[in-house]
Amino acid sequence: MKICFLSIDVEKRVNQSNQPFEGVDNLDNILNIFRKHSVPATLFVTGEVLEYSPDSVKKWSKDFEIACHSYWHIQLDKIKLSERERQVKDFVNRYKDVLRYPPKGFRAPRNVIDNEQFPILERYGFLYDSSVFPRYPVSIGAYSGYRGRAPIIPYWPSKKNYRKKGENSILEIPESPASFDIPFVGTWLRKLGTKFFKFILKIKKPKFTSFTIHSWDGVKFEGKSSKNSGKIFLKQLDEILGFLKSIGYEFKRGEEIYEEFFRPQADQPWAGKHK
């Protein structure tokens, strides 16, 4: 069995003063492609999005898992631990007000997380995190969220070093590459195209991969990293999802991966028991 964890970071577009929530307003451009291919996905929404459009979040929750992307899209290493905890608490409370049940998954803004964040997540009932970038081609430039190598399939992280396996009760679902350390994310799909990703996925066929996009990938925008945004990206997304299904990938939400990893079945060799 080959698993793909499909997710969207649903947030306002930074440095976009006129329509910062354009991607949120038009998220169905992306979600309708998911529905076309009948693939489940996890939407990591910020507290800002919960404030801005609670009715949209309710609508999305009928088909997809809604998880936490912090309250404000600020790197965790830029704020104090007390502020981090306040943001988690405020997010959980607003989430419960909107959806009437607690969130299960967390992803840090720009994938910047550390050992100190996991106890906070435990205190507020989170089951898994999906922040770790386990591989990155550093030769072509830096990314703030990449802090060194880590396991490329879900794992229970160490309390002393979240990038190593250990005894933590929060499952880490890493943002694993398609292959060759190349991130399988919307920005890179837009830059490199579907032919590139189809080629490396067909060669390697990793047992587990994570495909992450942003809410604003599906709308046309200008500036840095804007190549092929909007309609071109939506065509790429449609093509790559169809391809993944054709080579045998099964799509699972974060909460499903947690349950199957916690209670692995005989036909799930990629999963492993909690220590």
Q: What is the pLDDT of residue 264?
A: 62
Which of 41-55, 73-87, 133-147 shows the lowest mean pLDDT across its residues? 133-147
For residue 129, give both structure tokens. Answer: 């995190």
Q: How confident is the model at residue 189 (pLDDT cuts 50, 70, 90)?
A: very high
Is the predicted pLDDT of residue 48 greater than 80, yes or no?
yes
Q: Which residues contact 173 (CB under 8 A, 6 or more apart)?
A: 5, 105, 128, 129, 130, 154, 210, 254, 257, 258
Residues in the chain: 275
Is the predicted pLDDT of residue 170 greater than 80, yes or no?
yes
pLDDT tens digits along 217-236: 999 998 888 999 999 999 99
Mean pLDDT of the chain: 93
> What does CATH list as the number for 2-262?
3.20.20.370
Half-sphere exposure of 185 (CA within 13 A, CB side): 19
Query: Which residues share a beta bridge with 66?
Result: 43
Which of 112, 127, 113, 134 is closest to 209 using CA atoms? 134
Q: How confident is the model at residue 130 (pLDDT cuts 50, 70, 90)?
A: very high
Q: What is the pLDDT of residue 16?
A: 64
Cβ atoms of 175 and 210 within 8 Å: the answer is yes
Average pLDDT over residues 24-29: 97
Q: What is the pLDDT of residue 14?
A: 74
Q: What is the pLDDT of residue 1?
A: 83
